[in-house]
């Protein structure tokens, strides 16, 4: 059974701060990792994916992967109120397995 | 049509009734998926299809069936709905099974 663990939150950060979202997983065979953002009442939308150990940056978002420690994280720099949403971590080996999500609140 | 569409947007259904949720994509993606999302349980895969004519079972397939007659459409059928099938249902698609998945807007289903 592939497990993907996320702190459900809510995680509250002030506007302009760095939000750090973490995800651990149990399946060492997982090759690809995804972060989705889901606004309340909406569908998940892809933010980033990462395959290799290390950091991957896209604008204000940085995904970090450490396969040896089996964790993947998402950093959001200069957090904005519009970043308030639930963030879903997902891993892909054969099928996509989702964590339950972390709710982020950015306080103006 | 742009991306993935789902119908209906929401539905209230009496237990025991048959219901088909529709999903159509116009991206010519080979793979399609059905998920349900429940509070506290996250997104769980119901069924998937890696190409037209083939389907497979996900984590929670019981009580659901799918078909994939062509590339674009992937309907999900509840043969005899039960209250535990009350959920939000998302259809997704990807170029292949190992690729990034894109989600439709969802169908909110309530079974009474």
Which residues does B contribute to its contact with A (CB < 8 Å)?
A: 33, 40-45, 48, 58, 90, 97-98, 100-106
Q: How much is the mean pLDDT over chain B?
A: 95
Segment A71-106, tens digit of pLDDT: 999 999 999 999 999 999 999 877 888 999 999 999
Q: What is the mean pLDDT of residues B21-46?
A: 94
**Residues 6 or more apart whose Cβ sits within 8 Å of residue B103:** A43, A44, A45, B4, B90, B91, B92
Strand partners, B87: B109
Nearest to A44 among B44, B98, B103 (CB): B103
Cα dihedral across residues B14, B16, B17, B18: positive or negative: positive
Tens digit of each residue's pLDDT (9 = 90 or more) over B36-76:
999 888 899 999 999 999 999 999 999 999 999 999 999 99
- State the nearest Cα–Cα gap between B34 and chain A, in angstroms: 12
Q: What is the mean pLDDT of residues B3-13?
A: 96
pLDDT at B1 over 60: no
């Amino acid at each position: 059974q592939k497990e993907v663990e996320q702190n459900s939150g809510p995680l509250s950060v002030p506007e302009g701060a760095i939000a750090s979202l973490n995800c651990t997983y149990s399946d060492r065979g997982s090759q690809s990792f995804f972060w989705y953002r889901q606004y309340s009442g909406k569908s998940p939308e892809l933010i980033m994916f990462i395959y290799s150990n290390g950091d991957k940056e896209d604008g204000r978002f940085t995904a970090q992967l450490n396969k040896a420690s089996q964790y993947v994280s998402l950093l959001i720099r200069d957090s904005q109120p519009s970043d308030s949403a639930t963030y879903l971590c997902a891993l892909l080996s054969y099928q996509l397995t989702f964590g339950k999500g972390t709710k982020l609140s950015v306080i103006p | 049509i742009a991306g993935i569409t789902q119908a209906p947007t929401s539905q209230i259904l009496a237990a025991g009734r048959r219901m088909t949720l529709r999903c159509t994509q116009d991206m010519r993606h080979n793979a399609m998926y059905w998920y349900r999302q429940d509070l506290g349980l996250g997104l769980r895969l119901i069924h998937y299809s890696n190409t037209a004519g083939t389907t497979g079972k996900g984590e929670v397939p019981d009580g659901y069936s799918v078909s994939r007659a062509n590339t674009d459409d992937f309907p999900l059928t509840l043969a005899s709905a039960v209250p535990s099938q009350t959920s939000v249902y998302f259809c997704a698609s990807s170029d292949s099974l190992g690729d990034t998945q894109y989600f439709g807007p969802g169908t909110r289903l309530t079974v009474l």
